[in-house]
Amino acid sequence: MDVAVIYNFAEYPGGGDLVALDIIEALLEKDLTVNLYTSLPEGIQKAIHYFDKNSRIFKNVAIRKVETPKMVKHPYNIYLITKKTLNELKEHDLIIFFDDIPKPALKLRKVLVYVHYPHAARMLLNELVPYRYKYTFKGKLLWKTHCVLFRRYFLMNWNKPNIHVIANSTLTYSHVARALKPRYLAKVYPPVQVKQIIEFIRRANVAEDNIVVYVGRIQPEKGVEDLIKAVAMLKNADVKVRILGFNFDINYLQYLRKLVEKLGVAKQVSIEVNVPRKRILEILAKAKSVVHPAHYEPFGIAVVEGMAAGCIPIVRKGFNGPWIDIVKKGRYGYGYECIFELAKIIGQLIIEKKGTIMHPNDLMARSLEFSEFMFKRRVLELLKTLV
């Protein structure tokens, strides 16, 4: 099978890059021909370095650089790449996209799209629309413009015989099925580098501390203020909060820092932005719990990473990836609905030192179900049905 992957590594660094790397790695391990079509050819090496991959594995990837204007950002640069190379792409047996499908893909033999959460579903269902587009006139105007342009260049109906879809979670699966109606839809959880984390924790061999940690983007959707407010209810307790975030919304970051000062918890709460991965692992190695307060999260890779480090997960309840797919509605962690409940759980775990429902080794074992090995195996099983 000859496969083309259309993706820009390192454009928005994160878990999406690991998904794309692992798909390519799985294909190469089966001696399939892999061609990467990208406007950022240097990006794959950045991703390989960040995730500490063996670069030799990827030496057989044929990289096809496709020029796109720098001012054209994702997802529109993906459309341009597809349109410019359409005749070449028609020669491949399978073309892999991520999240959304450009209209020219209808002319391709077979299309596989791995979906974290598509723009098309956001528009059709009016769900998971980023905060920055919802509450200001400028934001609303930008979103309306995006919706008009997107419909011109991308498919809003995936009920086509050549389109196969993989969703990353129960929430995404449900929304894609309802909004885009693909004929072929499967669910495969994204890969997490749990084995590397478990090995790092064992080598570190550090004593556990009264640390509660959040790892993820600094943006309003993540609900990080809940954690700060909860700790303020435990002001005199020996609880340390470490917020390790990727700077995504400077206004929200400033709001969080002011909130820390306003609530008088500066000695308990620290916010570190754009920290190296090694630093994140060092904190997780000492932490007691990982908190994921997002209001609406398709999956939640940081929760699995915390579990791999032996941290007890506390996540928001609801139709949410961390609650449904990862902690299995309380089987592998705690859920909360309000700030008071979050504070109570933190207090029980760290101050009263009771209520621990799982041993760290059990949490690590659960995290292995989301390993890169499991991800690649499931993807390859699905690819067999496309041959």
pLDDT tens per residue across span 156-182: 999 999 999 999 999 999 999 999 999
- Domain with 167 in it: 2-191+371-384
Residues 332 and 313 sit within 8 Å (Cβ to Cβ): yes
Residue 23 DSSP SS3: helix
Q: Which of 81, 84, 48 is nearest to 96 (CA)?
A: 81
Q: Do residues 185 and 290 both lie within one domain?
A: no
Pair (166, 212) in one structural domain: no
Sign of CA dihedral 367, 368, 371, 376: negative
- DSSP one-letter string for 42-60: THHHHHHHHTT--GGGGTT
- 357 and 376, same structural domain? no
How do beta strands 312-316 and 289-292 pair?
Answer: parallel
Contact status, residue 292 vs residue 322, Cβ threshold 8 Å: yes
360 and 221 co-located in one domain = yes
Mark whether 180 and 265 lie in a shared domain.
no
Residues 172 and 287 both lie in one domain: no
167 and 236 housed in the same domain: no
Q: How far is 279 from 283, CA to CA, in rounded Å?
A: 6
Q: Give the Cα separation of 226 and 178 in Å (integer).
A: 31
Three-state secondary-structure class, residue 35: strand
* CATH number of the domain that residue 177 is part of: 3.40.50.2000
- Helix H segments across the chain? 15-29, 43-50, 76-84, 86-89, 119-125, 137-153, 170-180, 194-204, 225-232, 250-262, 277-286, 301-308, 321, 339-346, 360-367, 372-384
pLDDT per residue, tens digit, the chain (387 aa), is 899 999 999 998 788 999 999 999 999 999 999 999 999 999 999 999 988 899 999 999 999 999 999 999 999 999 999 999 999 999 999 999 999 999 999 999 999 999 999 999 999 999 989 888 888 899 999 999 999 999 999 999 999 999 999 999 999 999 999 999 999 999 999 999 999 999 999 898 887 789 999 999 898 999 999 999 999 999 778 899 999 988 888 999 999 999 999 999 999 999 999 888 889 999 999 999 999 999 889 999 999 999 999 999 999 999 999 999 999 999 999 999 999 999 999 998 887 666 566 778 889 999 999 999 999 999 999 998 876
b vs e for 253-281, b when ≥16 Cβ sit within 10 Å of the residue's Cβ?
A: beebeebbeebebeebbebeeeeeeeebb
Say what the pLDDT of residue 225 is. 96
- Claim to verify: residue 180 and residue 208 sit in the same structural domain: no
The pLDDT score that the predictor gives to residue 387 is 65
Q: Are residues 306 and 316 in the same domain?
A: yes
149 and 229 inside one domain = no
Which pLDDT score, from 0 to 100, does residue 353 have? 65
Q: Are 90 and 4 in contact (CB under 8 A)?
A: no
| Distance in Å from the first CA to the final CA of the chain | 8
C-alpha to C-alpha distance for 372 and 375, rounded to whole angstroms: 5
Report the number of distinct structural domains present in the chain.
2
Tell me if 333 sits within 8 A of 313, measured CB to CB. Answer: yes
* Strand arrangement, sheet containing 163-167: 62-65, 33-38, 2-6, 94-98, 111-115, 163-167, 184-187
- How far apart are the C-alpha atoms of 119 and 176, rounded to whole Å? 10
pTM: 0.92
186 and 304 together in one domain = no
- Residue 83: predicted pLDDT: 98
- Please calculate the CA angle 24-28-29 and round it to the nearest 5 degrees: 115
Rounded to the nearest angstrom, the gap between the alpha carbon of residue 270 and the centroid of all alpha carbons in its chain is: 23
pLDDT of residue 246: 84
Contacts of 73 (CB under 8 A, 6+ apart): 11
Pair (319, 222) in one structural domain: yes
